[in-house]
Structure 1
Amino acid sequence: MEFLYKTFYGNTILEWALAAGGILLSLLLAKTVYWLIGRFVKTITDRTENKFDDILVDMMEEPAVFAMILTGIWYSLHLLHLNDLAQTVLAKSYYVLIIFTVSWFVTRLFDAVVETYLTPYVQKSEGKLDDQLLPIVRKGFKLSVWAIAIIVALDNAGYDVKAVLASLGIGGLALALAAKDTVANLFGSFTIFVDKPFVIGDRVKVKGYDGFVREVGIRSTRLQTLDGRMVTIPNQFVANESIVNVSSEPSRKITMDIGLTYDTTPERMEKAMTILREIAESHPDTEETIVTAFTEFKDSALNIRFIYYIKKGASVFGTQNAVNMAILKRFNDEGLEFAFPTQTIYTKEG
C-alpha cells in the first residue's frame, strides 16, 4: 500500500491511477452510449413518421459522445494536483475544445435541418435558382460558424484578437497573392450566379467537356459528363470560357445528306424529296420547319440536303431512329436507290 502513495511529479501513484481510470471509464461510457444510440435510439426513431428525428440523431451522436469524453477527461484531470502553468494550459485547451464541439454541433444541426426541410422543398420547386443557391448558403453558413469559433477560441485562449487581425491586415497582400486563385474562383462563382449562363441540371459544353451541371459551389462547378464521370472545373475558368448551353436550345437541328444514284430521273428526285417531307411532317416529335433541296452533283451521287427539327424534350436518338427507318422503308418501296462510292474506268485500245 505504501507504493500507491509514492509521489511522482507532484501526485501519488494512486492519484495518477484514479485519473487514468477516470479517463478510461469516460471512454468506455462514451463507447457504450454510442452503441446504445445505434442499437436502441435509432430503432425508436426509425418507427416514427417524422424523418427529422432520424437525421438529428445521426448528426448529433458524434458531437454528443465527444462532449461526454471531454467531460470525463476534465473531471479526471482535476483529481491531480497540477501547477499553475499546467492548470492554465489545461483550462485554455478545454475552452477551445468546448467551442469547437459547440460549433460542430451547430453545423451538424444545420445540416439536419437542410436535409429534412430545405432540400426536399428545393427539389419540389419549379425554379432552379434555389438549387444553385442552396449549396452556396450551406457552405457559407458553415464557414461563418467556424470563423466565429476560431475567433472566440483565440480570445478565450488569451490571444489578443485585435492584434491578430491587425497582423493579418499587414500580411494581407501576401495572403492575397497566395490566394489569388481562390479569390478568382470566388468572383467566378459570383459571375455565374449573376449572369446565369446555366442552372443546375442543364447540359452544357465548357472547357471541352459536355455534361450536366450537378453543383455550383463557391470554388468550382461540377459536371457529370455523358459517360457518367464527374468533372470539377474551377469557377474562374467557367466564368471566362465560352459556354454552350445545350439545354436552352428550342429544338435540335438534324441535317442529313442523302445521295441517290445518277440514273435517278428529275421526277424521281422530286418524289424522294416529297417522301422526306411527308416522313418529317408525320412524326409527332418533329417541328413544322422542314427543308429539302437538291444541292449537289457529287462524284457518285445526286445529293439531297434534308433538314428537320426535333422538339425540345423529345428523345433525339429515338426520333432519329424512327425517321431513318421510315426513310429506308419508303425509299425501298419506291425503288429509289441509295448511291455508294463507285468509279467507272474507260479503256482505249491503242
Structure 2
Amino acid sequence: MMDYLNYVFFGNTVFEYIILLVYIILGVIAGKILKKVVEKYVKKLAGKTKTIWDDVLVDALELPLMIVVFAVFFRYGMLNLNLSPYLITLVNEGVNVVYILALLIFTIKFVDDLFVYWIIPRAEKSESKLDDQIIPPVRKLVKLVLIIGGLLLMLANLEVDISALLAGVGIGGLAVALASQDTLENFLGGLIIISDKTFLIHDWIKWNGGEGVVEEVGIRSTKVRTFGDTIITVPNGDLVKTEVENYSARRKRQVKSTVGVTYGTSPEKMVEAKEIIKDILDEHHGVVDPIRVSFTEFGNFSLNIRVEYFVREFGFDYFLTTVDEVNTKIMTKFGEAGIDFAFPTQTLHLRNDEEVLNINIQDKN
C-alpha cells in the first residue's frame, strides 16, 4: 500500500494528489459550514437591526465568501505539489481571477439589492411614473457595465494587453457598428421614448402592430401586455418610427349614440325628448362638456336623436358605470313622459277590392 502511495505521476506522488483532494474536500466543507453560519446566525442578527444595509451586505457576501474560501483551499492544495514555475504562475493567476469573479458577484448582487430594497420602493411611492420607467433600463445598464468592467479586470490580471485589445476592437469597430445597427437604433429609441414621455409604464397604447398596456420599457425593447393577457415585445426603434396612440393620456372619454323614437312622436314630444336627455347629461357628475343632443335623421323606422357627450377619465369601469346610469335614466324618463322607443318595424297595406275580385271570378267561369 505504501509503495502505491509513492508512485510518481507527472512529477508528484499519489499521496501528494490525495493531499490535494483533501484540500479540495476541506474547501467544500468549509464553504458549506460558512453558509450555515451566515444563514443561522449572521442573517438573524442583521434582521434584528433597523437598517436594511446590513441585510443587503450579508446577502451579497454569502456566495462570494464561499467561492473565496474554496479558492484559498484549492490554491494551497495545488502549491503543495511539485509544479513548474509556469504552472505555479498559472495557478496564482487563476485563483486571482476567481477572487475577481467573487468580487464581481458581490458587487452585482449588492447593487441589484440596492435597487430592490431602496431605489424601487421610493420610486413606487412617488407620484411620477417617469422614475418607474427609467429604473428598469438603468438597472440593466449598470449590471452590463459592471460585468464588462469585471471582465476587463480579469484580462488585466491574466496580463492580457487591454490597450491592444481595445485597439483591435477599434479596428473592427466599423464592422461591429454595422452589425449592431439595429441594437443601437433600439437603444436610442428607448432613450427617445423615455425623454419625450411618449408613454409611461401602465399606459394603454395602440400602434400599427397591436394594442395593450405597457409593462416595461427596456434598453432594446418595450414589453406590452395585450388584452388577451399575452406579452408583445416590440423593438423600441419600431415604436419611434410608427404612430403611437396613447389612450391613457386622454382627459375624458367620448360617447356617441343614437336614440330612436317612433314616427308617431309629435314635434312637441320630440322637443321634450331632447330636453330630457340634456337635463340627464347636465345633472350627471361624471359627464363633462361638450354635450350635443340633436334631432338629426329620419331613419327607416325611427326618428333619430344624435347624442354626444364626454365622461371624466377615472378609468374604464367608471366610464361604463356612467354610460349605464345615463342610459337607464333616459329609459325611465321616456317611459314617464310617454315617449316610445322605435324598433325595426314594417307596415303592410292590404286592399280589399271587391270589383277586381268579381272580375277575376267571371273570367274563370
Task: Please give the TM-score of this superposition, normalised by the length of structure 2.
Answer: 0.88
> CA distance change for structure 1 residues 54 and 259 in 2, over 3 Å: closer, same or farther?
farther
Letter of the structure 2 residue corresponding to residue 204 of structure 1: I
> CA distance change for structure 1 residues 263 and 138 in 2, over 3 Å: closer, same or farther?
same
What is the root-mean-square deviation of aligned Cα atoms in Å? 2.2
Tell me the SS of whatever aligns to 2:69. helix
Q: Which of 329, 332, 339 is 2:332 aligned to?
A: 329
Query: What is the rounded CA distance, in whole Å, between the counterparts of 2:61 and 2:227 in structure 1?
Result: 38
| Pairing 1:137-286 to 2, within 5 Å after superposition | 137-286=138-287
Query: What is the rounded CA distance, in whole Å, between the counterparts of 1:207 and 1:94 in structure 2?
Result: 54
Query: What is the rounded CA distance, in whole Å, between the counterparts of 2:56 and 2:276 in structure 1?
Result: 61
Q: Which position in structure 1 is the counterpart of 2:343?
A: 340
Q: Which position in structure 2 is the counterpart of 1:46?
A: 47
Q: How far off its partner does 1:143 sit?
A: 1.7
Letter of the structure 2 residue corresponding to residue 107 of structure 1: I
Tell me the SS of whatever aligns to 1:284. coil
Matched, 1:317 2:304: no
> CA distance change for structure 1 residues 294 and 144 in 2, over 3 Å: closer, same or farther?
same
Letter of the structure 1 residue corresponding to residue 239 of structure 2: V
> CA distance change for structure 1 residues 252 and 89 in 2, over 3 Å: closer, same or farther?
same
Matched, 1:135 2:133: no
Q: How far off its partner does 1:346 sit?
A: 4.4
User: Are the aligned partners of 1:261 and 1:339 in contact in 2 as well (CA < 8 Å)?
Assistant: yes
Q: How far off its partner does 1:345 sit?
A: 4.1
Tell me the SS of whatever aligns to 2:159. coil
- Structure 2 unmatched runs, 5+: 357-365
> What does the per-residue CA deviation read over 1:139-159, in whole Å, with 9 as the maximum and x for residues that have no partner?
222222222222222122122
> What does the per-residue CA deviation read over 1:116-175, in whole Å, with 9 as the maximum and x for residues that have no partner?
222222222222222222223222222222222222221221222122112212222221
Larger mean CA deviation between 29-38 and 250-259 belongs to: 29-38
User: Are the aligned partners of 2:262 and 2:341 in contact in 1 as well (CA < 8 Å)?
Assistant: yes
> CA distance change for structure 1 residues 328 and 234 in 2, over 3 Å: closer, same or farther?
same
> CA distance change for structure 1 residues 54 and 269 in 2, over 3 Å: closer, same or farther?
farther
Q: Which one has the largest radius of gyration?
A: 2
Q: How far off its partner does 1:244 sit?
A: 0.9
User: Are the aligned partners of 2:56 and 2:110 in contact in 1 as well (CA < 8 Å)?
Assistant: no
Aligned residues: 350
User: Are the aligned partners of 2:104 and 2:146 in contact in 1 as well (CA < 8 Å)?
Assistant: yes
Identity %: 34
> What does the per-residue CA deviation read over 1:47-106, in whole Å, with 9 as the maximum and x for residues that have no partner?
433333334433332222222222222222222222233223323322322222212211
> CA distance change for structure 1 residues 80 and 327 in 2, over 3 Å: closer, same or farther?
farther
Tell me the SS of whatever aligns to 1:211. strand
Q: How far off its partner does 1:318 sit?
A: 1.9
> What does the per-residue CA deviation read over 1:305-334, in whole Å, with 9 as the maximum and x for residues that have no partner?
111111122521222222222222222333
Query: What is the rounded CA distance, in whole Å, between the counterparts of 1:41 and 1:105 in structure 2?
Result: 17
